[in-house]
A and B are shown apart, each in its own frame.
Chain A
Amino acid sequence: MLLSKNSALESKDNEIFEVEESIAIQSELIKTMTTMVNSKAYVNERNQMVPEARCRKQANYHVEQNNKIVDEELSDWESKFFEVDMDDLHELFMAANYLEIESLLNGVTKRVGDFIKACKNVEVIRQTFGINNDFAAQQEEEIRKLNSWNHI
Protein backbone atom coordinates (compact mmCIF):
# COMPACT_ATOMS: atom_id res chain seq x y z
CA MET A 1 0.00 0.00 0.00
CA LEU A 2 1.32 3.41 -0.83
CA LEU A 3 1.68 5.99 1.89
CA SER A 4 1.32 9.02 -0.30
CA LYS A 5 -1.50 9.12 -2.74
CA ASN A 6 0.14 8.79 -6.08
CA SER A 7 -1.37 7.96 -9.38
CA ALA A 8 0.58 6.11 -11.97
CA LEU A 9 -0.28 7.27 -15.44
CA GLU A 10 0.77 5.36 -18.46
CA SER A 11 1.22 7.23 -21.65
CA LYS A 12 0.82 6.08 -25.20
CA ASP A 13 4.51 5.36 -25.40
CA ASN A 14 4.18 3.06 -22.40
CA GLU A 15 6.09 5.31 -20.08
CA ILE A 16 4.80 5.52 -16.56
CA PHE A 17 4.60 8.81 -14.67
CA GLU A 18 4.05 8.99 -10.98
CA VAL A 19 2.00 11.97 -10.13
CA GLU A 20 0.44 13.00 -6.84
CA GLU A 21 -3.23 12.27 -6.93
CA SER A 22 -4.27 15.80 -6.05
CA ILE A 23 -2.49 16.92 -9.19
CA ALA A 24 -3.72 14.09 -11.37
CA ILE A 25 -7.32 14.88 -10.64
CA GLN A 26 -6.92 18.40 -12.03
CA SER A 27 -7.70 16.57 -15.22
CA GLU A 28 -11.44 16.04 -15.33
CA LEU A 29 -10.95 12.88 -17.30
CA ILE A 30 -8.67 11.24 -14.76
CA LYS A 31 -10.91 12.43 -11.95
CA THR A 32 -13.88 10.73 -13.52
CA MET A 33 -11.93 7.53 -14.01
CA THR A 34 -10.68 7.57 -10.46
CA THR A 35 -14.19 7.93 -9.14
CA MET A 36 -15.38 5.20 -11.42
CA VAL A 37 -12.83 2.65 -10.34
CA ASN A 38 -13.25 3.65 -6.72
CA SER A 39 -9.75 3.02 -5.60
CA LYS A 40 -8.04 4.63 -2.68
CA ALA A 41 -4.68 3.06 -2.42
CA TYR A 42 -3.44 3.39 -5.92
CA VAL A 43 -4.77 3.89 -9.36
CA ASN A 44 -3.34 2.55 -12.51
CA GLU A 45 -4.84 3.91 -15.61
CA ARG A 46 -4.18 3.44 -19.20
CA ASN A 47 -3.69 6.75 -20.76
CA GLN A 48 -3.08 5.27 -24.12
CA MET A 49 -3.84 8.15 -26.33
CA VAL A 50 -1.46 10.75 -25.05
CA PRO A 51 2.11 10.66 -26.27
CA GLU A 52 4.83 10.86 -23.70
CA ALA A 53 6.00 14.43 -24.23
CA ARG A 54 2.58 15.80 -23.49
CA CYS A 55 2.08 13.77 -20.39
CA ARG A 56 5.30 15.02 -18.98
CA LYS A 57 4.30 18.56 -19.75
CA GLN A 58 1.01 18.06 -17.96
CA ALA A 59 2.70 16.74 -14.86
CA ASN A 60 5.22 19.54 -14.90
CA TYR A 61 2.54 22.15 -15.39
CA HIS A 62 0.62 21.10 -12.36
CA VAL A 63 3.53 20.47 -10.06
CA GLU A 64 4.92 23.89 -10.83
CA GLN A 65 1.54 25.51 -10.51
CA ASN A 66 1.10 24.10 -7.07
CA ASN A 67 4.59 25.10 -6.03
CA LYS A 68 4.29 28.68 -7.08
CA ILE A 69 2.15 30.29 -4.47
CA VAL A 70 3.04 33.88 -5.19
CA ASP A 71 0.84 35.35 -7.95
CA GLU A 72 3.60 37.26 -9.70
CA GLU A 73 5.88 34.27 -9.84
CA LEU A 74 3.08 32.15 -11.17
CA SER A 75 2.16 34.51 -13.96
CA ASP A 76 5.83 34.89 -14.92
CA TRP A 77 6.28 31.16 -15.01
CA GLU A 78 3.05 30.69 -16.93
CA SER A 79 4.03 33.15 -19.63
CA LYS A 80 7.33 31.32 -20.09
CA PHE A 81 5.58 27.96 -20.16
CA PHE A 82 3.33 29.05 -22.98
CA GLU A 83 6.05 30.76 -24.97
CA VAL A 84 6.16 27.99 -27.50
CA ASP A 85 5.56 27.84 -31.19
CA MET A 86 2.29 26.98 -32.84
CA ASP A 87 3.07 23.27 -33.16
CA ASP A 88 3.81 22.81 -29.46
CA LEU A 89 0.79 24.89 -28.62
CA HIS A 90 -1.27 22.65 -30.80
CA GLU A 91 0.01 19.60 -28.89
CA LEU A 92 -0.69 21.21 -25.54
CA PHE A 93 -4.14 22.05 -26.72
CA MET A 94 -4.91 18.50 -27.83
CA ALA A 95 -3.70 17.13 -24.51
CA ALA A 96 -5.52 19.72 -22.43
CA ASN A 97 -8.68 19.11 -24.41
CA TYR A 98 -8.47 15.36 -24.11
CA LEU A 99 -7.52 15.31 -20.44
CA GLU A 100 -10.02 18.08 -19.76
CA ILE A 101 -7.76 20.35 -17.75
CA GLU A 102 -9.44 23.74 -17.62
CA SER A 103 -6.52 25.86 -16.42
CA LEU A 104 -4.25 24.49 -19.12
CA LEU A 105 -6.89 25.03 -21.80
CA ASN A 106 -7.31 28.60 -20.60
CA GLY A 107 -3.57 29.21 -20.86
CA VAL A 108 -3.46 27.79 -24.38
CA THR A 109 -6.42 29.82 -25.66
CA LYS A 110 -4.89 32.99 -24.24
CA ARG A 111 -1.65 32.27 -26.05
CA VAL A 112 -3.42 31.55 -29.32
CA GLY A 113 -5.22 34.86 -28.79
CA ASP A 114 -1.79 36.49 -28.50
CA PHE A 115 -0.82 34.98 -31.84
CA ILE A 116 -3.85 36.56 -33.44
CA LYS A 117 -3.03 39.91 -31.82
CA ALA A 118 0.51 39.74 -33.19
CA CYS A 119 -0.59 39.10 -36.76
CA LYS A 120 -0.51 42.23 -38.85
CA ASN A 121 -3.29 41.41 -41.24
CA VAL A 122 -5.64 38.85 -42.68
CA GLU A 123 -3.06 37.07 -44.83
CA VAL A 124 -0.66 36.52 -41.96
CA ILE A 125 -3.41 35.05 -39.80
CA ARG A 126 -4.42 32.75 -42.63
CA GLN A 127 -0.87 31.53 -43.02
CA THR A 128 -0.28 31.05 -39.29
CA PHE A 129 -3.41 28.99 -38.83
CA GLY A 130 -3.70 27.44 -42.25
CA ILE A 131 -7.18 28.78 -42.95
CA ASN A 132 -8.82 28.39 -46.33
CA ASN A 133 -10.56 31.43 -47.68
CA ASP A 134 -14.08 30.52 -48.70
CA PHE A 135 -15.40 34.05 -49.23
CA ALA A 136 -16.42 35.51 -52.57
CA ALA A 137 -14.11 37.76 -54.59
CA GLN A 138 -15.66 41.10 -53.54
CA GLN A 139 -14.52 40.46 -49.97
CA GLU A 140 -10.92 40.54 -51.16
CA GLU A 141 -11.22 44.25 -51.94
CA GLU A 142 -12.24 45.06 -48.40
CA ILE A 143 -9.40 42.96 -47.08
CA ARG A 144 -6.86 44.83 -49.13
CA LYS A 145 -8.10 48.09 -47.61
CA LEU A 146 -7.83 46.61 -44.13
CA ASN A 147 -4.23 45.65 -44.71
CA SER A 148 -3.21 49.28 -44.40
CA TRP A 149 -3.83 49.12 -40.65
CA ASN A 150 -0.67 49.25 -38.65
CA HIS A 151 -0.08 48.89 -34.98
CA ILE A 152 2.73 49.19 -32.47
Chain B
Amino acid sequence: MHDPGKGHWQGCEMDSAVSSKTVDVGLVFEQDETLESIFCHVPLIHLVPVCHLSKSWNRALFSSLRHFNKPKPWLIVHSQTSRPPYTTAASSVAYDPRSNLWLRINHDPPVEYVSDLRSSNSTLLYMLSISKFSFSFDPLHLTWHQADPPLVWRTDPVVGILDRRHIVVAGGAWDFEDDPLSVEIYDLETRKWDTCESISAIFEHSAASMWLSIAANTKTLYAMEQASGITCSFDPISRIWLGPFDLRHDPNIYFSVIGISRDNLIMLGLLGNSENVKDIKIWELKGESFELFKEIGAMPKELVEKLKEEHASLSSIKISLTGDVLYIFNPEEPKELVVCEIDGRQRVSRWGSLKNSMVNDGGRVTERAVLTCADVSLGDLRKAMKFGKGSFSTVNNGILQ
Protein backbone atom coordinates (compact mmCIF):
# COMPACT_ATOMS: atom_id res chain seq x y z
CA MET B 1 0.00 0.00 0.00
CA HIS B 2 1.26 3.38 -0.82
CA ASP B 3 1.90 6.11 1.57
CA PRO B 4 -0.99 8.58 1.22
CA GLY B 5 1.57 11.22 0.57
CA LYS B 6 3.80 13.49 2.42
CA GLY B 7 1.41 16.37 1.82
CA HIS B 8 -0.93 15.02 4.43
CA TRP B 9 1.68 14.93 7.12
CA GLN B 10 2.84 18.47 6.76
CA GLY B 11 1.56 20.78 9.39
CA CYS B 12 0.84 17.88 11.69
CA GLU B 13 4.25 17.74 13.17
CA MET B 14 4.33 17.97 16.87
CA ASP B 15 7.49 19.61 17.85
CA SER B 16 9.40 19.25 21.03
CA ALA B 17 6.87 21.47 22.80
CA VAL B 18 5.08 18.22 23.57
CA SER B 19 6.65 17.98 26.97
CA SER B 20 5.00 17.58 30.29
CA LYS B 21 5.54 21.15 31.39
CA THR B 22 2.30 22.73 32.53
CA VAL B 23 3.46 26.04 31.16
CA ASP B 24 2.96 24.84 27.59
CA VAL B 25 -0.60 23.67 28.15
CA GLY B 26 -1.95 27.18 27.72
CA LEU B 27 -0.51 27.30 24.23
CA VAL B 28 -2.21 24.07 23.28
CA PHE B 29 -5.61 25.30 24.30
CA GLU B 30 -4.94 28.75 22.95
CA GLN B 31 -6.55 28.07 19.56
CA ASP B 32 -9.75 30.07 19.36
CA GLU B 33 -11.85 27.14 18.17
CA THR B 34 -10.74 24.96 21.05
CA LEU B 35 -11.37 27.64 23.63
CA GLU B 36 -14.76 28.38 22.13
CA SER B 37 -15.86 24.78 22.56
CA ILE B 38 -14.38 24.59 26.06
CA PHE B 39 -16.40 27.64 27.13
CA CYS B 40 -19.63 25.98 25.97
CA HIS B 41 -19.26 23.62 28.91
CA VAL B 42 -18.61 26.31 31.51
CA PRO B 43 -21.53 28.04 33.30
CA LEU B 44 -21.83 31.81 32.84
CA ILE B 45 -21.01 32.52 36.47
CA HIS B 46 -17.67 30.72 36.13
CA LEU B 47 -16.84 32.56 32.93
CA VAL B 48 -16.60 35.93 34.68
CA PRO B 49 -12.91 35.54 35.60
CA VAL B 50 -12.16 34.39 32.05
CA CYS B 51 -12.82 37.91 30.72
CA HIS B 52 -9.66 39.05 32.44
CA LEU B 53 -7.18 36.35 31.55
CA SER B 54 -5.70 37.65 28.35
CA LYS B 55 -6.80 39.34 25.15
CA SER B 56 -7.04 36.14 23.15
CA TRP B 57 -9.03 34.29 25.84
CA ASN B 58 -11.34 37.28 26.11
CA ARG B 59 -11.90 37.28 22.36
CA ALA B 60 -12.60 33.55 22.26
CA LEU B 61 -14.99 33.89 25.20
CA PHE B 62 -17.17 36.50 23.55
CA SER B 63 -17.15 34.62 20.29
CA SER B 64 -18.21 31.44 22.09
CA LEU B 65 -21.09 33.21 23.86
CA ARG B 66 -22.20 34.82 20.65
CA HIS B 67 -22.07 31.86 18.29
CA PHE B 68 -22.03 28.65 20.23
CA ASN B 69 -23.68 28.40 23.60
CA LYS B 70 -25.56 31.66 24.02
CA PRO B 71 -26.75 32.97 27.38
CA LYS B 72 -30.44 32.20 28.02
CA PRO B 73 -32.95 33.97 30.27
CA TRP B 74 -32.59 33.13 33.95
CA LEU B 75 -35.45 32.36 36.29
CA ILE B 76 -35.06 33.99 39.70
CA VAL B 77 -37.04 32.85 42.73
CA HIS B 78 -37.25 35.40 45.54
CA SER B 79 -38.54 34.49 48.95
CA GLN B 80 -40.27 36.34 51.72
CA THR B 81 -41.63 34.82 54.96
CA SER B 82 -45.40 34.74 55.07
CA ARG B 83 -45.44 35.17 58.86
CA PRO B 84 -44.34 38.05 61.06
CA PRO B 85 -41.72 39.33 61.72
CA TYR B 86 -41.47 39.85 58.01
CA THR B 87 -38.07 40.09 56.51
CA THR B 88 -37.47 40.02 52.85
CA ALA B 89 -35.07 37.14 52.45
CA ALA B 90 -31.49 38.13 52.01
CA SER B 91 -31.08 35.65 49.23
CA SER B 92 -32.78 34.45 46.14
CA VAL B 93 -32.07 31.45 43.95
CA ALA B 94 -31.55 31.74 40.24
CA TYR B 95 -31.71 29.13 37.50
CA ASP B 96 -29.37 29.39 34.51
CA PRO B 97 -30.88 27.23 31.72
CA ARG B 98 -27.76 27.49 29.57
CA SER B 99 -25.89 25.27 32.02
CA ASN B 100 -28.81 23.72 33.95
CA LEU B 101 -27.46 25.25 37.14
CA TRP B 102 -29.06 26.78 40.26
CA LEU B 103 -27.23 29.56 42.06
CA ARG B 104 -27.86 31.33 45.33
CA ILE B 105 -27.65 35.13 45.15
CA ASN B 106 -26.80 36.79 48.46
CA HIS B 107 -27.90 40.39 48.75
CA ASP B 108 -25.56 42.70 50.55
CA PRO B 109 -27.09 44.64 52.25
CA PRO B 110 -30.35 42.64 52.56
CA VAL B 111 -33.48 44.09 50.98
CA GLU B 112 -35.43 46.20 53.43
CA TYR B 113 -38.98 45.05 54.13
CA VAL B 114 -41.70 47.45 52.99
CA SER B 115 -44.68 45.17 52.38
CA ASP B 116 -45.60 41.99 50.53
CA LEU B 117 -43.18 41.29 47.73
CA ARG B 118 -44.82 41.06 44.32
CA SER B 119 -43.68 40.67 40.77
CA SER B 120 -45.19 42.00 37.59
CA ASN B 121 -44.76 41.40 33.90
CA SER B 122 -41.86 39.09 34.67
CA THR B 123 -39.25 41.78 35.11
CA LEU B 124 -40.44 44.03 37.90
CA LEU B 125 -40.30 43.34 41.63
CA TYR B 126 -42.07 45.75 43.98
CA MET B 127 -43.43 46.40 47.43
CA LEU B 128 -46.11 49.03 48.05
CA SER B 129 -47.03 50.45 51.43
CA ILE B 130 -48.93 53.51 52.58
CA SER B 131 -45.68 55.45 52.83
CA LYS B 132 -43.39 53.96 50.26
CA PHE B 133 -43.13 52.39 46.84
CA SER B 134 -40.05 50.24 46.56
CA PHE B 135 -39.14 48.56 43.27
CA SER B 136 -36.40 46.80 41.32
CA PHE B 137 -36.04 46.03 37.63
CA ASP B 138 -32.37 45.14 37.06
CA PRO B 139 -31.87 41.55 35.89
CA LEU B 140 -30.58 40.19 39.21
CA HIS B 141 -32.72 42.51 41.36
CA LEU B 142 -29.78 43.72 43.38
CA THR B 143 -30.68 47.40 43.03
CA TRP B 144 -33.77 48.74 44.75
CA HIS B 145 -35.31 52.17 44.19
CA GLN B 146 -37.43 54.03 46.72
CA ALA B 147 -40.19 56.39 45.72
CA ASP B 148 -43.18 58.11 47.21
CA PRO B 149 -46.35 56.03 47.00
CA PRO B 150 -49.02 56.87 44.40
CA LEU B 151 -51.52 59.58 45.27
CA VAL B 152 -54.39 57.14 45.67
CA TRP B 153 -53.87 54.53 48.36
CA ARG B 154 -54.03 51.06 46.83
CA THR B 155 -53.79 47.64 48.41
CA ASP B 156 -53.43 45.38 45.44
CA PRO B 157 -53.07 47.34 42.23
CA VAL B 158 -51.86 46.11 38.89
CA VAL B 159 -48.34 47.37 38.30
CA GLY B 160 -46.35 47.28 35.10
CA ILE B 161 -43.07 48.75 33.92
CA LEU B 162 -42.73 50.13 30.43
CA ASP B 163 -39.53 50.93 28.60
CA ARG B 164 -37.51 51.34 31.85
CA ARG B 165 -38.90 54.83 32.26
CA HIS B 166 -42.56 54.54 33.26
CA ILE B 167 -44.32 52.49 35.88
CA VAL B 168 -48.08 52.24 35.54
CA VAL B 169 -50.22 51.53 38.58
CA ALA B 170 -53.90 50.76 38.07
CA GLY B 171 -56.82 49.82 40.26
CA GLY B 172 -56.55 48.19 43.69
CA ALA B 173 -57.97 51.30 45.37
CA TRP B 174 -59.00 50.85 48.98
CA ASP B 175 -61.11 53.76 50.06
CA PHE B 176 -64.78 54.10 49.08
CA GLU B 177 -64.16 57.61 47.87
CA ASP B 178 -61.45 56.61 45.50
CA ASP B 179 -62.10 55.61 41.94
CA PRO B 180 -61.46 51.84 41.86
CA LEU B 181 -60.33 52.18 38.28
CA SER B 182 -57.87 55.02 38.78
CA VAL B 183 -54.54 54.88 37.00
CA GLU B 184 -51.34 56.68 37.83
CA ILE B 185 -48.05 56.70 36.02
CA TYR B 186 -44.64 57.16 37.63
CA ASP B 187 -41.82 58.73 35.64
CA LEU B 188 -38.44 57.36 36.75
CA GLU B 189 -36.61 60.44 35.55
CA THR B 190 -38.75 63.17 37.06
CA ARG B 191 -39.65 60.92 40.02
CA LYS B 192 -43.21 62.17 39.89
CA TRP B 193 -46.64 60.55 39.83
CA ASP B 194 -49.23 61.64 37.32
CA THR B 195 -52.87 60.70 37.12
CA CYS B 196 -54.19 59.55 33.77
CA GLU B 197 -57.26 58.06 32.17
CA SER B 198 -58.91 55.40 34.32
CA ILE B 199 -58.87 51.82 33.22
CA SER B 200 -61.95 50.59 31.36
CA ALA B 201 -65.13 50.17 33.43
CA ILE B 202 -65.32 46.58 32.28
CA PHE B 203 -62.70 45.88 34.95
CA GLU B 204 -64.85 47.43 37.66
CA HIS B 205 -64.75 44.33 39.85
CA SER B 206 -61.42 42.97 38.81
CA ALA B 207 -58.96 45.85 38.75
CA ALA B 208 -56.41 44.19 41.01
CA SER B 209 -53.30 42.08 40.51
CA MET B 210 -55.22 39.03 41.74
CA TRP B 211 -57.54 39.08 38.75
CA LEU B 212 -55.57 40.75 35.99
CA SER B 213 -52.53 39.56 34.09
CA ILE B 214 -50.08 42.23 32.87
CA ALA B 215 -47.70 42.28 29.95
CA ALA B 216 -45.65 45.17 28.60
CA ASN B 217 -43.26 45.73 25.73
CA THR B 218 -41.49 49.03 25.09
CA LYS B 219 -44.56 50.75 23.68
CA THR B 220 -47.67 49.25 25.23
CA LEU B 221 -49.02 47.83 28.45
CA TYR B 222 -51.67 45.09 28.24
CA ALA B 223 -54.05 44.06 31.01
CA MET B 224 -56.11 40.88 30.68
CA GLU B 225 -58.81 39.63 33.03
CA GLN B 226 -57.61 36.08 33.67
CA ALA B 227 -61.07 34.55 34.07
CA SER B 228 -62.65 36.03 30.94
CA GLY B 229 -59.84 36.92 28.52
CA ILE B 230 -61.07 40.53 28.19
CA THR B 231 -58.07 42.74 27.52
CA CYS B 232 -57.27 46.45 27.37
CA SER B 233 -54.09 48.12 26.19
CA PHE B 234 -52.44 51.32 27.39
CA ASP B 235 -50.21 53.70 25.49
CA PRO B 236 -47.93 55.64 27.93
CA ILE B 237 -47.40 58.50 25.48
CA SER B 238 -50.99 59.31 24.63
CA ARG B 239 -52.06 57.88 28.03
CA ILE B 240 -55.12 56.37 26.47
CA TRP B 241 -56.67 52.96 27.11
CA LEU B 242 -57.82 50.99 24.05
CA GLY B 243 -60.26 48.13 24.07
CA PRO B 244 -61.82 46.10 25.51
CA PHE B 245 -60.80 43.22 23.26
CA ASP B 246 -61.80 39.62 23.68
CA LEU B 247 -58.70 37.51 23.17
CA ARG B 248 -60.36 34.15 23.68
CA HIS B 249 -60.76 32.55 20.31
CA ASP B 250 -61.39 29.18 21.87
CA PRO B 251 -64.45 28.93 24.14
CA ASN B 252 -62.82 26.07 26.05
CA ILE B 253 -60.32 28.39 27.73
CA TYR B 254 -61.25 28.94 31.39
CA PHE B 255 -58.14 30.80 32.55
CA SER B 256 -55.53 32.75 30.62
CA VAL B 257 -52.48 34.91 31.18
CA ILE B 258 -50.44 37.07 28.85
CA GLY B 259 -46.79 37.85 28.31
CA ILE B 260 -44.39 39.35 25.81
CA SER B 261 -41.97 37.18 23.86
CA ARG B 262 -39.63 39.07 21.55
CA ASP B 263 -41.99 42.05 21.41
CA ASN B 264 -45.03 39.90 20.48
CA LEU B 265 -48.05 39.39 22.68
CA ILE B 266 -48.57 35.78 23.64
CA MET B 267 -51.32 34.17 25.66
CA LEU B 268 -51.20 30.95 27.65
CA GLY B 269 -54.58 29.36 28.31
CA LEU B 270 -55.94 26.50 30.40
CA LEU B 271 -58.63 24.57 28.51
CA GLY B 272 -61.44 22.47 29.93
CA ASN B 273 -62.34 23.36 33.50
CA SER B 274 -60.42 23.59 36.77
CA GLU B 275 -61.43 20.07 37.91
CA ASN B 276 -60.52 18.59 34.59
CA VAL B 277 -57.79 20.37 32.65
CA LYS B 278 -57.82 19.13 29.07
CA ASP B 279 -54.94 21.12 27.63
CA ILE B 280 -52.55 23.98 28.19
CA LYS B 281 -51.81 25.92 25.03
CA ILE B 282 -49.88 28.98 23.92
CA TRP B 283 -50.93 31.40 21.19
CA GLU B 284 -49.32 34.37 19.55
CA LEU B 285 -51.71 37.30 19.04
CA LYS B 286 -51.43 40.02 16.43
CA GLY B 287 -53.54 42.68 14.76
CA GLU B 288 -55.11 45.87 15.98
CA SER B 289 -57.80 44.09 17.95
CA PHE B 290 -55.82 40.85 18.20
CA GLU B 291 -58.01 39.12 15.71
CA LEU B 292 -55.01 37.20 14.33
CA PHE B 293 -54.01 34.31 16.51
CA LYS B 294 -51.65 31.41 15.97
CA GLU B 295 -51.22 28.41 18.19
CA ILE B 296 -47.50 28.10 18.83
CA GLY B 297 -47.42 25.25 21.30
CA ALA B 298 -49.37 22.76 23.40
CA MET B 299 -47.98 21.39 26.66
CA PRO B 300 -47.32 17.63 26.69
CA LYS B 301 -49.80 15.77 28.93
CA GLU B 302 -47.16 14.48 31.35
CA LEU B 303 -46.05 18.04 32.09
CA VAL B 304 -49.64 19.15 32.69
CA GLU B 305 -49.80 16.37 35.31
CA LYS B 306 -46.58 17.61 36.91
CA LEU B 307 -48.05 21.08 37.33
CA LYS B 308 -51.11 19.67 39.05
CA GLU B 309 -48.94 17.53 41.36
CA GLU B 310 -51.14 15.96 44.03
CA HIS B 311 -54.05 18.28 43.37
CA ALA B 312 -56.77 17.09 41.09
CA SER B 313 -57.56 20.62 39.99
CA LEU B 314 -55.67 23.45 38.36
CA SER B 315 -57.48 26.71 39.00
CA SER B 316 -54.81 29.18 37.96
CA ILE B 317 -51.43 29.50 36.36
CA LYS B 318 -48.62 32.02 36.34
CA ILE B 319 -45.91 32.63 33.80
CA SER B 320 -42.59 34.40 33.80
CA LEU B 321 -40.87 35.01 30.52
CA THR B 322 -38.44 37.07 28.57
CA GLY B 323 -36.90 36.66 25.14
CA ASP B 324 -37.48 33.11 24.03
CA VAL B 325 -37.78 31.22 27.28
CA LEU B 326 -41.04 30.82 29.18
CA TYR B 327 -41.38 29.48 32.74
CA ILE B 328 -44.79 28.20 33.77
CA PHE B 329 -45.88 27.40 37.32
CA ASN B 330 -48.88 26.56 39.42
CA PRO B 331 -48.99 29.08 42.30
CA GLU B 332 -50.59 26.45 44.55
CA GLU B 333 -47.85 23.96 43.83
CA PRO B 334 -44.58 25.74 43.01
CA LYS B 335 -42.43 22.63 43.50
CA GLU B 336 -42.23 21.82 39.81
CA LEU B 337 -42.02 24.29 37.01
CA VAL B 338 -42.45 23.78 33.31
CA VAL B 339 -40.05 25.44 30.93
CA CYS B 340 -40.40 25.92 27.22
CA GLU B 341 -38.35 27.57 24.51
CA ILE B 342 -39.71 29.48 21.56
CA ASP B 343 -37.63 29.20 18.43
CA GLY B 344 -36.92 31.72 15.68
CA ARG B 345 -40.08 30.76 13.83
CA GLN B 346 -42.15 31.65 16.90
CA ARG B 347 -43.06 28.06 17.74
CA VAL B 348 -42.42 26.21 20.97
CA SER B 349 -39.47 23.99 20.16
CA ARG B 350 -38.67 22.42 23.50
CA TRP B 351 -40.59 21.50 26.65
CA GLY B 352 -39.09 20.43 29.94
CA SER B 353 -39.73 20.41 33.66
CA LEU B 354 -37.66 21.83 36.47
CA LYS B 355 -37.63 21.27 40.21
CA ASN B 356 -37.87 24.55 42.08
CA SER B 357 -34.66 24.69 44.09
CA MET B 358 -36.08 27.19 46.58
CA VAL B 359 -38.84 24.81 47.60
CA ASN B 360 -36.54 21.82 47.87
CA ASP B 361 -33.95 23.74 49.80
CA GLY B 362 -34.15 23.01 53.52
CA GLY B 363 -37.96 22.89 53.75
CA ARG B 364 -38.72 26.60 53.56
CA VAL B 365 -42.43 26.00 53.78
CA THR B 366 -43.40 29.31 55.39
CA GLU B 367 -41.82 31.37 52.69
CA ARG B 368 -43.70 32.89 49.79
CA ALA B 369 -42.03 32.54 46.46
CA VAL B 370 -42.10 35.32 43.88
CA LEU B 371 -40.70 34.65 40.42
CA THR B 372 -39.04 36.89 37.87
CA CYS B 373 -37.25 36.21 34.62
CA ALA B 374 -34.41 38.16 33.03
CA ASP B 375 -31.70 38.18 30.40
CA VAL B 376 -28.59 37.96 32.54
CA SER B 377 -25.42 38.75 30.70
CA LEU B 378 -21.79 38.33 31.64
CA GLY B 379 -21.70 42.10 32.07
CA ASP B 380 -24.51 41.96 34.66
CA LEU B 381 -22.60 39.36 36.65
CA ARG B 382 -19.37 41.34 36.45
CA LYS B 383 -21.12 44.50 37.64
CA ALA B 384 -22.73 42.68 40.56
CA MET B 385 -19.38 41.36 41.72
CA LYS B 386 -17.51 44.57 41.03
CA PHE B 387 -19.80 46.72 43.15
CA GLY B 388 -20.05 44.13 45.88
CA LYS B 389 -23.83 44.17 45.82
CA GLY B 390 -24.21 40.48 45.51
CA SER B 391 -22.23 37.34 45.96
CA PHE B 392 -23.00 34.01 44.38
CA SER B 393 -22.77 30.42 45.47
CA THR B 394 -23.83 27.23 43.74
CA VAL B 395 -26.73 25.04 44.78
CA ASN B 396 -27.47 21.49 43.57
CA ASN B 397 -28.11 21.18 39.88
CA GLY B 398 -31.71 21.58 38.81
CA ILE B 399 -33.00 18.51 37.07
CA LEU B 400 -34.27 19.46 33.63
CA GLN B 401 -36.01 16.55 32.02
Name A's B-contacting residues (CB within 8 A): 33, 36-37, 39, 43-44, 46, 48-49, 86-87, 90-91, 93-94, 97-98, 105, 109-110, 112-114, 116-117, 119, 121-122, 125-126, 128-135, 139, 142-143, 145-146, 148-152
Smallest CB separation, B70 vs chain A (Å): 16
Question: Which chain B residues (80-102) contact chain A, with CB distance < 8 Å?
Answer: none
Classify the secondary structure of A's interface with B. helix
- The closest CB in chain A to the CB of B13 belongs to A49
Q: Is the CB–CB distance between B41 and A109 below 8 Å?
A: yes
1/0 per residue, CB under 8 A from A, across B373-401: the answer is: 00000000010011010011110000000
- What are 15 contact pairs spanning A and B, CB under 8 A? A37-B1, A90-B25, A90-B28, A91-B18, A94-B18, A97-B34, A98-B14, A112-B38, A113-B41, A117-B46, A129-B29, A130-B23, A132-B54, A135-B55, A146-B52
Q: Which residues of B contact A48 (CB under 8 A)?
A: 9
Q: Is the CB–CB distance between A152 and B48 below 8 Å?
A: no
Q: Which residues of B contact A49 (CB under 8 A)?
A: 9, 12-14
Q: Is the CB–CB distance between B393 and A152 below 8 Å?
A: yes
If A49-B13, A113-B38 touch, does A148 touch B392 (CB 8 Å cutoff)?
A: no
Q: Closest 9 interchain pairs by CB?
A: A113-B41, A130-B26, A129-B26, A130-B23, A122-B49, A113-B42, A87-B20, A117-B46, A109-B38
For residue B22, CB closer than 8 A to chain A, the reply is yes
Q: Is the CB–CB distance between A125 and B50 below 8 Å?
A: yes
Name B's A-contacting residues (CB within 8 A): 1-4, 9, 12-14, 18, 20, 22-29, 34, 37-43, 45-50, 52-55, 57, 382, 385-386, 388, 391-394
| Inter-chain pairs besides A37-B1, A93-B28, A146-B385, 15 sampled, C-beta below 8 Å | A46-B3, A94-B28, A110-B41, A116-B50, A119-B49, A126-B53, A131-B53, A131-B54, A135-B55, A143-B52, A146-B49, A146-B386, A148-B391, A151-B394, A152-B393
- The closest CB in chain A to the CB of B395 belongs to A152
Q: Which residues of B contact A44 (CB under 8 A)?
A: 1
If A109-B37, A117-B42, A135-B55 touch, does A98 touch B12 (CB 8 Å cutoff)?
A: yes
If A109-B41, A152-B394 touch, does A142 touch B54 (CB 8 Å cutoff)?
A: no
B25, B382, B385: which contacts A87 (Cβ < 8 A)?
Answer: B25
Smallest CB separation, A128 vs chain B (Å): 8
B4, B27, B48: which contacts A146 (Cβ < 8 A)?
Answer: B48
Q: Which residues of A contact B1 (CB under 8 A)?
A: 37, 39, 43-44
Smallest CB separation, A38 vs chain B (Å): 9
- The closest CB in chain B to the CB of A124 belongs to B49
Q: Is the CB–CB distance between B46 and A130 below 8 Å?
A: no
Smallest CB separation, A36 vs chain B (Å): 6
Q: Which residues of A contact B27 (CB under 8 A)?
A: 130
Q: Is the CB–CB distance between A148 and B385 below 8 Å?
A: yes
Q: Which residues of A contact B385 (CB under 8 A)?
A: 145-146, 148-149
A109, A117, A130: which contacts B24 (Cβ < 8 A)?
Answer: A130
If A49-B12, A113-B42, A151-B394 touch, does A129 touch B48 (CB 8 Å cutoff)?
A: no
If A121-B49, A125-B53 touch, does A113 touch B39 (CB 8 Å cutoff)?
A: yes
Smallest CB separation, A129 vs chain B (Å): 4
Q: Is the CB–CB distance between B46 and A116 below 8 Å?
A: yes
Q: Is the CB–CB distance between B4 and A131 below 8 Å?
A: no
